[in-house]
Structure 1
Amino acid sequence: MSESPQPLTLPDAEEFEAWVRERAAAGMAQASELVAALKADPTASTVTALESYDRAVQHLGEVAAMGSLFSNVHPDAGVRAAAEEAESQVMRVLTELGLDRELFEVVAGLDGAGLDDAAARLLAHVRRDFTRSGVDRDDATRARITAVRERLTELDQEFSRQLREDVRSIRVAPERLEGLPEDWRAAHPPEDDGLVTVTTDYPDAVPTRMYAHDAQVRHDMAVAFLSKGWPQNDAVLKEMFALRHELAGLVGHSDWASYDAEVKMIGSGPAIPAFIDRIADAAEEPMRRDLAVLLERYRADHPDAEEVPAADAQYYSEAVRRERYEVDSQEVRRYFDFTRVRAGLLEVTARLFGLRYEPVPDAVTWHPEVTVHDVHDADAPAGTPPFGRIYLDLHPRAGKYSHAAQFTLTDGVAGRRLPEGVLVCNFSRELMEHDHVVTLFHEFGHLLHHVLGGRGRWARFAGVATEWDFVEAPSQMLEEWAWNHEVLATFAHDAAGTPIPPELVERMRAGEEFGKGVYARTQMFYAAMSYWFHTERPEDLEAAMRRLQERYAPFGWIEGTRMFASFGHLGGYSSGYYTYMWSLVIAKDLFSAFDEDDLFDTEVARRYREAVLEPGGRRDAADLVADFLGRPSTFESYEAWLAR
């Protein structure tokens, strides 16, 4: 392997499948050679053995990453299907490795004396992984574990595929779209029958629910958006929950959440609902305060109302921000032209973290809209090779992943492989909502973590390979830069080139503060679904969702909707959606080390880069945070933010 970017695009599904077979076979061969070599030479050093194992797993991981990426972004349905099979094939191989007793005995017998901290950590993690995989179980149990894991991979792919492909729409007379931005309406002309098609993709769904004056249009869009994946994913999710529970039992755990939490910061399954309730209790009064303001505004139009319907919540939240805080999102979006925002994001993060992004215009990609940049240290001499590469795939299209996420392409290892990551989002090609600008900063935080943490010795600890409930903290903290006037003024300009006014940003921030209690309780509703669906495995998911919505959520159920069927985090995050709020608590504490009046303070940013981002998973997340803050993380910054 060489430390250089890897070629991406293959012309068709047949060649892609051939490539996958070759890479998967090579990965298995490496693992087999490892076992054979160690048996033949019992004096082989532990470090040599660990390097061989790390390389074998990384090789397989790259094929799985490619499969995950292409199945979500490639415009060719044949390639997407081949990519899913690639991922499945690698998951089967990795399951075999994890249950290989001969390999486990070799690893268990390695001498850990004299290893440096990172190598000792790797050895401990590999041994732990083998135990968690069930390698010490009897033959029949291991065979069942293999079957369950293979089926779970299939289910996860089916769940994701339904979410990608189930794009719904409503058809509306153009006059019923009054209130939506003029540029949006210009981009959605009536069709031959005089109606406008409005899809459930974010660039349509979000502004429709936020701006359309017609309440029925808002309601119809809410129903369409919150019904995606139904009924197809109902059975998929039930089987997924049942098999995860069975798998946890097969390896000695009481339930999936306990198994999953064992290797996270939170430590145990029962700690998850305790954390959910702690946040819910802290957010109770802020939520009631938010809802009182919202209801007051809603009653101006509906005097006898007792509550704000969920389908109207975004529209009236926007009305409150516009009228009470003098923040009109349609005025705000004039300052966020997509092209300038993308360029500004790169300029801001380059300045902050001491980086230089060099466009790679001749890079081969899977779609013409994808842009590619090599990442350098700002002070690196001209001609110095990059230390990472990023791909930005930021607009919606048919068959593409419909949310926002960072995908790994390759994990970085010093001297062996460059870290390469991909940002996959679905933003407008023209003017952006500020909320989407915040999302872009958030997701770019993951990308930075991936490339900056990709210069260590071990692939296992590369990039965001920290505890999963810490992963969101760096990206959530970077959102703060999207709310600062000094930062925004560098790229947020209207068509005439006038920067966004500081007083507008101040009002935007005040408007954003409104609703954080509602936000926190909504997140706890999602977290509760994530946890209790896995521990209780209800037969009627809709009824269970509605019970949890009544307990935690600020708004009631919209009749006919089943949002759990499109709750994509039930796939990758499984029972751990609480991690978003857990990470936010840490993010608020991390941000307390920065001076809000000087967010371009490169000294603090450099210390943060070196203490938190660059180590990747080489140390426990709690230790990384303590190193940066000079103390253990606390709940105080979050609590103060929520209460103010």
Structure 2
Amino acid sequence: MSNPLLNLPLLPAFDQLQPSQVAPAIAELIDNCRDQLEKGLENPDWDNTLAPLEEAQDRLNRAFSPVSHLNSVLSGPWREPYEAALAEVTAYWTELGQNRDLYGVYRQLAESPEFADWPQARRQAVKLGLRDFELSGVGLEGDARERFAANSRRLAELSSQFANNVLDATNAWTYHTEDAAELSGLPQTALAAAGAAAQSRNLPGWVITLEGPSFLAVMTHADNRALRERVHRAFVSRASETGPDGGKFDNSSVMEEILKLRAEQAKLLGMESYAELSVASKMAPDTDRVLEFLNDLAERAKPAAEREFAELKAFATDNLGLQELKPWDIPWAAEKLKQERYAISQEELRPYFPYEKVLAGLFAVVEKLFGVTAEADDSVATWHEDARFFWLTRNGERIAGFYLDAFAREKKRGGAWMDTVSTRRQTESGLQLPIAYLVCNFSPPISAAGAPAAGGEPSLLTHNEVTTLFHEFGHGLHHMLTKVDVADVSGINGVAWDAVELPSQFLENWCWQPEAIAMMSGHYKTGEPLPAELLDKMLAAKNFQSAMFTVRQLEFALFDFLLHSRNTGASAEEIQQLLNDVRKRVAVVPSAAENRFQHGFAHIFAGGYAAGYYSYKWAEVLSADAFSLFEEKGIFDRATGEKFLHSILEKGGSREAEDLFTEFRGRAPKIDALLRHSGIEQLALNTDPG
């Protein structure tokens, strides 16, 4: 039987994939890449060397992509083959990054007289390639060269181990009860989900888990303070040495080794810290500029955050009988205050945001802005019954596609993300279309059998989840709407990491526009539009505790950047101390003694955000400023939408991010719109990013 990972149709054959197919396919494809490189070096130029190598590596990427994806959304039998393949793929890319013959080809091309006349995408691919060779240790000699390669391989293993520990710790803890009184305050949707979770485990009553929808429902709505405390302590201590599963999935030593190796990688390249190494490929000019940006924003946001928290404490004392606001009280008390002040809650909005209606509204917004249509294709094989496939079309022609896996389930990685299936590129047989994965963890539909109390309900989203869906689709559009045909700078490839959040955060803005909200909302039973009174309250509450949210994000960003600014690694105790110090400077809310946020901080220890979490705030300046042009011209102004499409989405990584932004906005980015949108515009900053 042929191996579907070697046949490589545009869309993976998920109905045929087996874990046993991974190792032989990856080994063969890596061998093909090495053979192609050797052949290409015989007569080096773009057509003989780089183009055929891109073809071979694209086949490797498209085979590894579904393996990596299945490990994230199903785990189980895919973990072991994924980790073995990851080791081989990492070894190949590390070897390639240190190949001096190939580096010499890039230099030769860049220095050739005709280089200036090349297409922009090719020139940028060569320019970024040279940078990446240098950051991959191509100039190292002897032991240093071997050490850098070994560190790269080990870092890939450790990142996977970190993510596994977080997932296993999340799945390991549950709380079972048959006493309905314990769950007082939980909305019907959360009770139905807890009932379904119990039934799936052959238990009576209800089961609370640490999956996002369950955890958030308890922390926001459970009147039972002891239950909130129990769930909070379990969640914040995941994958650490403390808490109910303390030591079982502990990431302490994993973090220590990751930081040690990252610091060593930077030192081998002659840099002061991993933060310096990280920023070398970003939009920010240097590490000082990043810290200046974060500290400046923190200094001005913290006074507003302190006022917001003081209001919350006073409300909790006067109205809720809480003399001391504990960490597990804060979301619950904040929800009570929000209802008191605005008479609105996320749960009250849920019935008006059924998932299918929101999805149709998202597609309608994107069609009005960019002239593309999403069409479901249920004939495409997927990995789970929840996952669906859609084509993106323009004028009836397919230009891209995406898989959408929207609902939380056991053994699926938490959070939300976009990843690539295939990249737009020109091949000998024609244009390869870009295909994406879009993954979220919303509350799933509840069948009548699974939840007798609810009688069967569709998936109903909070407005926060609506913005998450728009955010991930913004990433997807950046990948899918590219017009670039060179893989290294097509879609999100080659885009500076601190600018990659621009399209995602940009698209979130339509979740707050009444004209757009009307397109994505309607009562799930009656179809009745979101009442004007509820809409007004939702918009009025938009910036509720926005300064508290801002300093929370700055806490994460500063901790990450300062941690990676050390010129050595850090022990688990030093990591905790640094986080404590950052919290003293910028945080306004208390933390539980066993809070080990860092042990689950997958963005920086298992994702691409090491010394880069600041990117969310940096790009938020860009996205708010970009949207301000729509505020001037009209939120569905087609000319402005086309301008964003042509200047940002279609260009991918083919030009510098700042140049593309300036092309769209007609000037460098300004902070003003972000401050206005977040309700803290009076806290004018002295400087603007990049």
Structure 2 length as normaliser, TM-score? 0.87
Q: 1:200 and 1:597, CA in 2 relative to 1: closer, same or farther beyond 3 A?
A: farther
1:41 is matched with none
Separation in 1, partners of 2:519, 2:124: 43
**1:98–1:130 CA contact under 8 A, matched in 2:** yes
Residue equivalent to 1:71: 71
CA distance in 1, matches of 2:234, 2:185: 20
Letter in 2 for 1:162: N
Match of 1:204 in 2: 214
Does the 8 Å CA contact 2:26/2:60 hold for their aligned counterparts? no
Change (3 A) 1:323 1:597: farther
Aligned match of 1:181: 187
Residue 462 (structure 1) aligned with residue 462 (structure 2): no
- Give 1:519's aligned amino acid: F
Aligned to 2:534: 504
Quote how far apart the aligned CAs of 1:224 are.
1.4
2: CA distance between counterparts of 1:95 and 1:57?
14
The one-character-per-residue Cα deviations of 1:385-404 (angstroms, maximum 9, x if unpaired) are x2111000111222211111
**Contact 1:47/1:119, CA 8 A, preserved across alignment:** no
Q: Do the aligned partners of 2:369 and 2:637 also contact (CA within 8 Å) in 1?
A: yes
**Where does residue 349 of structure 1 map in the other structure?**
366
CA contact (8 A) 1:485 1:502 kept: no
Deviation at 1:597, TM superposition (A): 9.1
Q: CA deviation at 1:100?
A: 1.3
- 1:106 is matched with 105
Distance 1:457 1:219 in 2: 53
Unaligned runs of 5+ in 1: 39-44
Q: In structure 2, how many angstroms separate the alpha carbons of the residues matched to 1:427 and 1:175?
A: 25
What code does the residue aligned with 2:586 have? Y
Distance in 2 between the 1:308 and 1:88 partners? 47
Q: Distance in 2 between matches of 1:116 and 1:11?
A: 39
CA contact (8 A) 2:374 2:392 kept: yes
Q: Are 1:116 and 2:119 counterparts?
A: yes
Partner of residue 334 from structure 1, selected from 330, 351, 368 = 351
Q: Percent identity?
A: 28
Q: Distance in 2 between matches of 1:598 and 1:411?
A: 32
Question: What is the total number of aligned residue pairs between the two structures?
Answer: 630
Which whole-Å CA distance do the structure 1 matches of 2:632 and 2:521 have between them?
19
Q: Name which of 565, 573, 583 aligns with 1:549.
A: 583
Q: 1:578 to 1:401 in 2, by over 3 A?
A: same
Q: CA deviation at 1:533?
A: 2.1
The one of 437, 440, 445 equivalent to 1:422 is 437
- Change in Cα spacing, 1:26 to 1:522, as seen in structure 2 (3 Å) is same
Structure-2 separation of matches of 1:599 and 1:144:
53
Shift of 1:206: 0.9
CA distances 1:274-318 after superposition (whole Å, capped 9, x unpaired): 22111101212321232132122212245673x633222211221
Deviating more after overlay: 517-526 vs 136-145: 136-145
Paired residue for 2:382?
365
Change (3 A) 1:418 1:340: same
SS of the counterpart of 1:362?
Answer: coil
1:613 aligns with 2:657: no
Q: What SS does the aligned partner of 2:373 have? A: strand
1:247 aligns with 2:275: no
Output the CA distance in 2 between the equivalents of 1:613 and 1:140.
43
Asked whether 1:567 is paired with 2:601, we answer yes
Which segment drifts farther, 4-13 or 126-135? 4-13
Q: How far does the alpha carbon of each residue in 1:75-114 deviate from its partner, in whole angstroms, 9 at most, with x for none?
A: 5x22232123222211110110111122222322232353
2:18 aligned residue (8, 12, 28): 12
Whether the aligned pair in 1 keeps the contact of 2:22 and 2:67 (CA below 8 Å) is: no
Give a deviation string over 1:154-193, Cα, whole Å, max 9, x none: 0011111122222222334321211111232133237787
Give, in angstroms, the shift of residue 256 of structure 1: 0.3
Alpha-carbon distance between aligned partners in 1 of 2:59 and 2:128, rounded to the nearest angstrom: 18
Specify the alignment match of 1:397 in structure 2.
Answer: 409
2:456 is aligned to none
The residue identity in structure 2 corresponding to 1:354 is G
Q: Residue 25 of structure 1 corresponds to which residue in structure 2?
A: 31
CA distance in 1, matches of 2:321, 2:226: 18
Alpha-carbon distance in 1 for matches of 2:517, 2:633: 13
Q: After superposition, where does 1:106-145 map in structure 2 within 5 Å? A: 106-110=105-109, 111=112, 112-145=115-148
Aligned equivalents of 1:553, 1:362: Cα separation in 2: 50
Give 1:130's aligned amino acid. Answer: F
Q: Report the AA paired with residue 223 of structure 1.
A: R
Q: What displacement does 1:337 show?
A: 1.5
1:522 is aligned, of 547, 552, 561, to 552
Q: Note the C-alpha offset of 1:3.
A: 11
Deviation at 1:416, TM superposition (A): 3.6
Matched-pair contact (CA < 8 Å) for 1:65–1:87: no
Question: Partner residue of 1:406?
Answer: 418
Partners of 1:440 and 1:114 in 2: CA distance: 41
Tell me if 1:579 matches 2:585.
no
What whole-Å deviation, never above 9, does each CA across 1:27-65 have from its counterpart, x for those lacking one?
A: 222222222332xxxxxx445544234334434433443
Alignment of 1:287-302 (within 5 A): 287-301=305-319
Name the aligned partner's letter for residue 424 of structure 1: V
What's the CA shift for 1:532?
A: 2.1
State the partner residue of 1:165: 168
- Cα-Cα RMSD: 2.2
Select which of 201, 223, 226 maps to 1:216.
Answer: 226
SS of structure 2 residue aligned to 1:388: strand
Are the counterparts in 2 of residues 491 and 499 from structure 1 also a CA contact under 8 Å? no
Question: Structure 1 length as normaliser, TM-score?
Answer: 0.93
Alignment of 1:228-307 (within 5 A): 228-231=238-241, 232-301=250-319, 305=323
SS at match of 2:669: coil
Counterparts in 2 of 1:401 and 1:207: CA distance versus 1, 3 Å: same
Separation in 1 of the partners of 2:99 and 2:677? 49
2:503 alignment partner in structure 1: 474
SS in 1 for 2:194: coil
Deviates more, 1:613-622 or 1:100-109: 100-109
User: How far apart are 1:528 and its partner, in Å?
Assistant: 1.6
**AA in 1 matched with 2:231:** M
Q: Deviations over 1:103-132 (max 9, x none)?
A: 222322232353233222222211121111
1:146 aligns to 2:149 (yes or no)? yes
**The 10-residue stretch of structure 1 (146-155 or 589-598) with the greater mean CA deviation from structure 2:** 589-598
Answer yes or no: is the 8 Å Cα contact 2:40–2:48 preserved in 1: no
Does the 8 A contact of 2:121 with 2:484 survive in 1? no
Residues 2 and 416 in structure 1, CA contact (< 8 A), matched pair in contact too? no
One-letter amino acid of the counterpart of residue 484, structure 2: G
Which residue number in structure 1 is paired with residue 451 of structure 2? Answer: none
DSSP 3-state at the match of 2:420: strand
Determine the structure 1 residue equivalent to 2:236.
226
- C-alpha contact (below 8 Å) 2:633/2:640 kept by paired residues: no
Q: Which amino acid aligns with 1:176?
A: E
CA distance in 2, matches of 1:100, 1:634: 41
- Matched position secondary structure for 2:117: coil
What secondary structure does 1:340 align onto?
A: helix
| Alpha-carbon contact 1:165-1:398 (below 8 Å) kept | no
The change in CA–CA distance for 1:487 and 1:374 in structure 2 (over 3 A counts) is same
Q: 1:48 to 1:116 in 2, by over 3 A?
A: farther
**C-alpha distance in 2 between matches for 1:389 and 1:265:** 29
Say which of 579, 589, 593 aligns to 2:625. Answer: 589
Matched, 1:89 2:88: yes
Give SS of 2:379's match. Answer: coil
User: CA separation of 1:491/1:303 partners in 2, compared to 1, >3 Å: closer, same or farther?
Assistant: closer
Greater Cα shift, 62-71 or 422-431: 62-71
CA contact (8 A) 2:555 2:582 kept: yes
* Higher alpha-carbon deviation: 478-487 or 193-202: 193-202
Q: Which amino acid aligns with 1:461?
A: V
Q: 1:485 aligns with which of 506, 514, 526?
A: 514
**Contact kept in structure 2, 1:31 and 1:56, CA below 8 Å:** no
